Amino acid sequence: MSSILEKLKIYPAIAKGIYHYNFYGPPCKSWDLKTLITIYVARLLFGSYANLNAHRKKLVRDTDTSVKNSTTELVTIPNKFREKAYNLVKNHLRSVYGNDKWYDEESIWSNSSPLEPEWVIPAHLTKSSTSKAILYFHGGGYLMGGFSTYRSCLETLAQGSDSIVLGAQYRLAPDYSAPCQLEDALAHVLYLTSPVEESGIGLSFDQIVVSGDSAGGGLTCVLNHFMRDANIGKFAGSLVFSPWVDLKINHPSCTDCAETDVLPTLTGSDYELAENGELAPGMFKDVYHAVDPKLQSKMVERGHYLAPVEYLNSPIVSPLCDSNFRDLPPTLITSGEVEMLRDNSYLYQELINKSYTEEELSKFSIPPSTMHHYSEMYHDFAFLNPDSSTSDIAFKRAINFIKQCHNQKSSEFEEVKTNSPINLLKSDKCDDSSIPLKWKNLYLSTVNDHELVPFTPNYKRVEIQTWKGSN
């Protein structure tokens, strides 16, 4: 009976999509009925917080995917890597922020469940210290999600780039405050790069491309900034889809694109009371009423569902608010024109570009940052509708990026660069020399022919609240 009721809850979303399509037409001209229904159903799946723990399990079950020509292997991250990651982050908090107690003793790694990531290994490959690898962090607003949703799409990336994929697991909010998620991400890195005789995989950073979508894309960027600042190392590349890199403020696209995106509201994620003394409407209130009283108290104490509110614009929560965007891995950003996190993407791209001079940019074998902005596309479109022609070209470009990153130090790099262009289907009319520095390597992928053309994002913008240190 419960499964029938669950399906019945989805039917109104489908009916709403059909009604809107037939009577008002699609919000974007290129959208067919299937796309509009996908939007409405996804909003229902992602925005239902009636019971967060139950919703997490349901979401993973309902969106589970399988592999076709690969094997999967569930592993457990050894505790010694978790402990080392905890100490590295703790020391960083103490030295940079003057406070290493962002959460209580109950949330320490040793009091939490084991980390159990999953390998996806294409049939023609084996897992070894010579493998080329992708470390992937799933999305879900730091609240929900799991790698099983991404198996099928990540198999596509793995097969195309001759890589093995480790789908990471990390602790979720509001149960666990930041920087627990960073600690878990770093534990995966230590597992991948430690010698085989020490229970690691024995990879070098040059063999690893780190990737993620949405909150997982944000965590990917957090990890990159932290590893640079802590002198741990630098990945071969960083591939992010619709990354959430600023939790401090809501940029204009969070409201301007609300009717064309799959995401529920992103506004009101801080603890705030309305005039009547009740919680103000928004994300904080929705999550608050979906958890037990103990977690509710933690959220109020924090002032935010993910992190202590005074650190929301710190680089290890919101990397867009960092003051340093140099010396990061080569980054490919994939975003949608009509998604709520649109502004996060192009501003992050812009800040990386502006941190270099024209002369410096010209010397990189792979640009520090490239962004593909897909016309009329919504948040995480490549994963939500992987069979579309737009998603297909997005994955092909991502595969080419991974290939180039893995071969940067190879004698075959120039051949790989020629045969596997990151900017696949780039317009012959592109005159990159005339593009302003801040918008270098920023392209719009057109709707019909998927051609990449130069793009100047003249959107409304608000000031980024760059981290200036603890008060």
- Phi, psi values for residue 254, rounded to 5°: -65, -30
CA distance 254 to 375: 17
* Residue of 370, 361, 365, 368 whose CA lies nearest to 412: 365
Bridge pairing between strands 331-336 and 237-241: parallel
Whole-Å CA distances, 56 to 146, 239, 268: 9, 25, 21
CA distance 468 to 356: 21
Q: Which residue in the list 161, 211, 214, 391 is annotated as catalytic?
A: 214
Q: What strand order describes the sheet that includes 118-122? A: 70-74, 118-122, 164-167, 133-137, 208-213, 237-241, 331-336, 369-374, 442-445, 452-454
* Residue of 29, 215, 219, 85 whose CA lies nearest to 140: 215
- Phi, psi values for residue 53, rounded to 5°: -65, -45
**What are the structure tokens assigned to 268, written together?**
């009101």
CA distance 90 to 39: 40
CB of 336 closer than 8 Å to CB of 372: no
Is position 214 annotated as part of the catalytic site? yes
CA-only gyration radius of the chain, Å: 21
CB of 361 closer than 8 Å to CB of 353: yes
CA distance 353 to 439: 7
Indicate which residues carry an active-site annotation.
Answer: 214
